Every structure is written in structure tokens, then in C-alpha cells.
Amino acid sequence: MRMVITGLVVSNGGDAAILDAQVDVLRRALPGLEMAVHDSAPPVARRLYPDLEVHPVLAAVTRPRRRRLRGLVPWLDRRRVLLAARAWRLSPGVAKALLREAEREVVRSLAEADVVAHTGGTTLVETYDLDPKLFELEVASAAGATLVLLPQSLGPFTNRDYMVRLRRLLSTAALVLLRDDRSAEHLTQVGISTQAVEVVPDIVFALAAPSAAGRLRSAEMPARPRVAVSVRDCEIFLRSGDKQRSYEDAVGALVVDLVRRREAAVTFVSTCQGTPEYWADDSAIALRIHQRLPEDVRGSTTVDRTRHDHSGLAAVFGEHDVAVTTRMHAGIIALGAGTPVLPIAYEFKTREVMGQVGLGDHVEDVGEVTDDALVAAFDALLEDLPALRGRLAVGVEALRARAHGLDTLLADRIGSTRG
């Protein structure tokens, strides 16, 4: 069987961890699976994953973008690509003649796949332009591939065009894996009801260490804790530079309190750093916060600017006693290393996923954090931690087991698929 995973951005360390877990689970589910990935930055993906077949996402090689160019020309351009996809298996020569040279590589990859899976994560939300992602799935469907959505959060949807296209695509999907009930509600709200939908854990829980539950259950908080802090640029979600500054100031105030009151050692570290090709560098935000700290506090803080894969990041979090995480997958990886977390949410996914592990009452909203509120939230987490540890241990181990078990579900649903 050949599978293509679309929609990837492995320059983002959280997306890379998702891919690592997906590859592991899929290869256990489907022995002998031939796999290719479509990524927004192929040179980075090839460098990080030299053993995988890598192609660009379709949007990188085709013209049409509905929001930027309307009218007959983009409509015809789309029809041309869709027609080529439909023709590929029966008349590849005709299909190639319809396509530009750069398009052939990507359309061939989609057309020769038995299964095309949209990667897990949070890409099907209207914060981003969904048109190119949906179009790539439409081309895959036109070519005859079986469609799958790997574990993700999606919606809510207000754009009528997106809703119509999603209804059409998901009505024929073999499997739609969602990370939370709220995403399932978002599909129901727009009339998408399919037996293919399953609510499952975030697949990165499959990477959790077997020892994580034991550490979460039994570790003690030292008098001088080691605290890891993950920050990011949230302005795209906050839609306000002032709110971004308030968030950064709140994190800075927490670090000052940690160092002065608790004599903590603080390390800024996150999933999206150390990859210059990527638009976001969390360590740049961390450095900005660090530079604003009082001199006596800066001496007890470190900014880690290195790119870490999921195992390297788990090792870093495993050296800390607690983590404050804005990036959700930083939080999942920390929990998977046995380190409790104080999550800061910038999308609904964080509250949903962290609620599954027992941290629902300890999630802070990025748009509402203040200096005093974040300090109080950290205090509350530490106060609750003795009673919370057992629940966290059970939650992480349960999600790890269920994420590992996705191989059985995938084998059952798509194991017999052939083009």
C-alpha cells in the first residue's frame, strides 16, 4: 500500500513530533507501507527526514488561490488539475500533458497513492487559509485515493465554501480522527455526520515514555524547582500587539516570581526554534522576555535556542520539575517525559486535550493572562499537585495506551485499501 500524508510543516517542531508518531503508528498498523509526505518546505523536510519520500504541497506548485484571484481563469486552472488527476491512472500521458512540469511531481504522488491522509494537528481551522489544503484533498479524491484525516482539532466553520467542500470530502472519507469532542461538534454543526468519525488522543501521546506515569505519580517538587517555559508569538490569534505584549509581560512576571520567591532555575525552551526557514522562532520571543527581566533574575534563567526533535525535547523537559507551556505539543511532550505542566491556551485545542489528561482546571487563556493571574495560576498548580499527581499519571498512561492502539483502528479501517 502507498500512503501520502499531506499538509505537513515539519519546520514546526510540534508538527515534526506529530509526523514521528504518525510514521511509527502507521508502520505498525500497515507492515510494508510505502509512505510519502507533502510538506510546505521540502528542503527542510528532506534534511530532517532523509529516509522519507518528500514532495511539496500542491499549493506550492499550482497557481489557483480563490481569495487572491477570482473569476474564470482560476476556475479553469482548477478544473485542469482535477481533470489531470482523474485521468492519471488510465491515461498518464494525457494527465501529464495537462499539467505544468512542477505540478506533475505532486499530482503523480497523489494519483499513485492508495490512501491520502491529511496530517494530524490543527490546520483545518479558519485562522488559516483552508482553500489550498482542501484543494489538495479534492485532487487526491479525484484521482481515486481513499481519504483519511489523522488525529486533529478542527473548526468552527463559518465560511460557506469551506463547509460545502468539507461535507463533500468527508462524506466519502474512510476515517476521520479527531482529538476532542468539540471538533466533532463543529462537524455536526455544519451538517457533517459520518460514521467514519472517531475521537482519539493526540497521536504524540504515543511517544510518551513508559516511565512517564511513574515519574508523574511519585516525583516531589524540590524547594528550588527547575522550571521550563515555552512561549510563542500569539498575535495571529490575539489580533493585537498590545495583548501579545501583555502575555509576554505576564510570563516575565512569573519568571521574576519564580526566581525571587522560589529560587527557581528557569529555562526557556519550545518546539518551534532553531529552524531559520520557519516563520516562527519561539526562542526569539523568549529572548525578548529574557532581555526585559531584572538583572538579578536573568542570571537564573537560560534561553535555549537549539532545535530539538521530540526525543531531545523530552530529555530537556525530563530534567525539569514543572513546565509552563504555550505550545500545546511542548506540554504533551513534557507530560510524556513525566513533567507536570501549566498550559497556556491560544486555541480551544489546548483546553480540550489538557482536560483529557486531568488539567482542565489549570489551563490559562493567553488573551486573559495578567502578571498576578499567571503567578496565582502557578501557585495553584503547585498547591494542587500532590493530589493531582495520581490523576495525571493515570491520564497520561491511558492516553499513551490509546494512542498506541491507533494502529489497530487504522489496520481495521484502511488495511485492505488498494487503488
Block residue for cell numbers 463547509: 163
Same fold, 2-200 and 208-399: yes
Name the nearest CA neighbour of 226 among 88, 319, 157, 128.
319
Neighbours of 187 (CB within 10 A): 22
Mean pLDDT across 8-29: 98
Mean pLDDT across 149-161: 98
Residue 64 above 70 pLDDT?
Answer: no
Each residue's pLDDT tens digit, 347-375: 999 999 999 999 999 999 999 999 999 99
172, with CB counted inside 10 A (0-12, 13-18, 19+), is: exposed
Each residue's pLDDT tens digit, 93-134: 999 999 999 999 999 999 999 999 999 999 999 999 999 999
The three cell numbers of residue 211 are 516511565
Residue 35 above 70 pLDDT?
Answer: yes
Neighbours of 295 (CB within 10 A): 6
In our burial notation (b when 16+ CB lie closer than 10 A, e otherwise), range 331-345 reads bbbbbbbbbbbbbbb
Residue 69 above 70 pLDDT?
Answer: no
208-399 has CATH 2.60.40.1110 classification: no
What's the pLDDT score for residue 237?
94
User: Whole-angstrom Cα distance, residue 72 to residue 39?
Assistant: 29
What's the pLDDT score for residue 193?
82
User: Whole-angstrom Cα distance, residue 143 to residue 86?
Assistant: 5
What's the pLDDT score for residue 219?
93
- The domain spans of the chain are 2-200, 208-399
Q: How confident is the model at residue 63 (pLDDT cuts 50, 70, 90)?
A: low
What's the pLDDT score for residue 62?
87
Mean pLDDT of the chain: 96
2-200 CATH choice from 1.10.3470, 3.40.50, 3.30.1490, 1.10.1750: 3.40.50
What's the pLDDT score for residue 416?
80
User: Whole-angstrom Cα distance, residue 134 to residue 141?
Assistant: 10
Residue 418 above 80 pLDDT?
Answer: no
Residue 404 above 70 pLDDT?
Answer: yes
Give bridge partners of residue 241 from the DSSP assignment: none
Percent of the chain past pLDDT 70, that is, above it, reads: 97
Residue 92 above 60 pLDDT?
Answer: yes
The three cell numbers of residue 149 are 484525516
Specify whether the backbone of 71 is left (phi greater than 0), alpha (psi in -120 to 50) or beta. Answer: left
Q: How confident is the model at residue 194 (pLDDT cuts 50, 70, 90)?
A: confident
Mean pLDDT across 245-250: 98
**Which of 14-28, 66-80, 139-153, 263-277 has the lowest average pLDDT?**
66-80
The three cell numbers of residue 44 are 527542510
What's the pLDDT score for residue 415?
87
Name the nearest CA neighbour of 392 among 208, 228, 187.
208
